[in-house]
Amino acid sequence: MVSRVIPVDPFDLVIFGGTGDLAHRKILPGLYLRYLSGQMPEGSRIIGAARTEQDSDAFRAFVKTGIDEFVAEDKQDSEAVERFLSHIEYVRVDAKGTDGWSDLKDLMRDGVIKAFYFSVAPSLFGDLAERLHLNGIADGESRIVVEKPFGRDLASAKALNSVLAEHFDETQIYRIDHYLGKETVQNLMAVRFGNILFEPLWNAQYIDHIQITVSETVGVGGRGGYYDKSGAMRDMVQNHLMQLLCLIAMEPPAQFDPDAVRDEKLKVIRALDPVPSKDIVRGQYRADGDEPAYREDAGDPNSHTESFIAMKVQVSNWRWSGTPIYLRTGKKLRARASEIAVVFKDPPHSIFGVQEGRRGNVLVIRLQPDEGMNLRVTIKEPGPGGMRLMEVPLDMSFADAVGGAGDDVPDAYERLIMDVIRGNQTLFMRGDEVEAAWAWTDPMINRWEDNGDIPEPYDAGSSGPDGSLALLVRDGRRWREVK
């Protein structure tokens, strides 16, 4: 099935940090793909901005290397690449100084949407916001896009929010969490609120528990120094897993509108109970043959930062009281997979007698790889031998239903950037959401930092530390094996 492409209005998009890794690998190749699909109109321009001294031709050559390297071969169309590159300019700008700002102002056009992507360290956000205003480059209609990490605790997130708020209204600020741009994540809302089938069962009466897993096979490798200052809680739970939790647990918004959706997500975060130490397991991967242990990757032999975390979370409201949500995420695990599993309760009475090994229905929402959903249902095992039951997946994967999510469906960055141009904030985090998330995670982080808590070692290629398995076994449950 070919996806329907609705072109956006012409825009000038300035990418501060245009010479950086994120711009090279994700933002610029993503924009090329949107151009190729016909969504980016000819009247649009992309302006790279950074301190590196170079002209627009040199920057275009840099953009081309990103397209060569990070865009699939079947999407490499040399003519289209050349046309795309003709929409690109470069301006040398120093976020902390006066250099380049008047050049940037001269480049900007009236009558098109103006967006500014802050693909730089968060310490520069305030400088950029201030200079955009002082130099009269941004106006009340402009949009700014900011990358994670949005703070490292509540105090720093508040400081970032207030520095941005000095120059931009909340309706102009787009805080990116690329998980929210994933097709399946949006499908989660469509499935929950577009069907009558699931919502009546979507509560503690029918759902035994929920598991949210984001599992990676890679270690922290080259970014060990950066990662060691954050750890799995700050790097993954506070943002990505929290967003997934919100979408799975929120009440139906009155309409699919940015503030209605974000209001409901915020209510979930505010309803989260503090998590006691006994319900949190932190882990650190061991060395594996020639592969270094986490502490070597981090460059600190005494590091107490977690490369894995599992926790049992309770949403204290009428819908979820008594139904835990288990979160786990980590590096150097067995599989690279992200999924949400909604595990339903057994039927209240089995007319078939006690069935060995029988379990309730499970709805699995896979985010990666192979985005899709499947529902495990109990059926009769075919053939003679009486009423023997078995479980089979009722597959709702995109691949079968809509002819593959791969080719025509934009990836998360592409979609989110186009949402910025369209002025749709639904899939972006609001300032109060981010602050509420830090307000929930801060006490846990402070507790283990104050107590000098030492993470439990685990083997590379495993499912994490033993304590993580025990966390569920204790409750008579077990983690699903992700593949």
Query: Angle 282-435-447 (CA atoms, 0-180°, nearest 5)?
Result: 35
For ligand NAP, which is the closer residue by CB, 226 or 352? 226
Q: Is 181 in the site for ligand NAP (CB under 6 A)?
A: no
For ligand NAP, which is the closer residue by CB, 187 or 305? 305
Q: Specify whether the CB–CB gap between 255 and 194 falls below 8 A.
A: no
Type of residue at 351: I
Among 5, 10, 22, 355, binds ligand NAP (CB under 6 A): 22
Supply the minimum distance, in Å, between the C-beta of residue 179 and ligand NAP.
Answer: 11
Cis peptide before 369 (omega within 30 of 0): yes
Q: Strands, E, within 94-195: which ranges?
A: 113-118, 143-146, 173-175
Q: Specify whether the CB–CB gap between 137 and 95 falls below 8 A.
A: no
Give the interface size with ligand NAP as a residue count (CB under 6 A).
Answer: 23
Phi, psi of 12 (to 5 degrees): -110, 115
Of the residues 87, 133, 240, 304, only one is catalytic, namely 240
Stretch that binds ligand NAP, among 12-20, 59-67, 205-213, 445-453 (CB under 6 A): 12-20
- Residue tagged 């569920």 (tokens): 472
Among 11, 12, 14, 17, binds ligand NAP (CB under 6 A): 17
Supply the minimum distance, in Å, between the C-beta of residue 236 and ligand NAP.
Answer: 12
Stretch that binds ligand NAP, among 50-58, 104-112, 319-327, 397-405 (CB under 6 A): 50-58
Going from the C-alpha of 193 to that of each of 87, 325, 459, the distances in angstroms are 40, 20, 41
Nearest to 328 by CA among 258, 280, 263, 256: 280
Supply the minimum distance, in Å, between the C-beta of residue 24 and ligand NAP.
Answer: 7
Supply the minimum distance, in Å, between the C-beta of residue 368 and ligand NAP.
Answer: 16
DSSP secondary-structure letter at 330? E
Q: Is 240 an annotated catalytic residue? A: yes
How far is it, in rounded angstroms, from Cα 242 to Cα 263? 15
Stretch that binds ligand NAP, among 3-11, 21-29, 308-316, 422-430 (CB under 6 A): 21-29
Among 10, 51, 256, 358, binds ligand NAP (CB under 6 A): 51
For ligand NAP, which is the closer residue by CB, 104 or 343? 104
How far is it, in rounded angstroms, from Cα 429 to Cα 238? 12
- Residue tagged 């072109």 (tokens): 7
The residue at minimum Cβ distance from ligand NAP is 20
CB neighbour list of residue 79: distance below 8 Å, 6 or more residues apart: none
For ligand NAP, which is the closer residue by CB, 94 or 370? 94
Supply the minimum distance, in Å, between the C-beta of residue 120 and ligand NAP.
Answer: 4
What mask, x for binding ligand NAP by CB under 6 A, covers residues 87 to 126?
------xxxx----------------------xxxx-x--
DSSP secondary-structure letter at 229? T
Q: Specify whether the CB–CB gap between 401 and 374 falls below 8 A.
A: no
How far is it, in rounded angstroms, from Cα 305 to Cα 227? 9
Residues 344-363 that bind ligand NAP (CB under 6 A): none
Supply the minimum distance, in Å, between the C-beta of residue 93 and ligand NAP.
Answer: 6
Stretch that binds ligand NAP, among 3-11, 142-150, 192-200, 460-468 (CB under 6 A): 142-150
CB neighbour class for 456 (10 Å; exposed up to 12, middle 13-18, buried from 19): middle
Stretch that binds ligand NAP, among 46-54, 83-91, 454-462, 473-481 (CB under 6 A): 46-54
Type of residue at 23: A
Site of interaction with ligand NAP (CB under 6 A)? 16-23, 50-52, 93-96, 119-122, 124, 147-149
Query: Active-site residues: which are they?
Result: 240
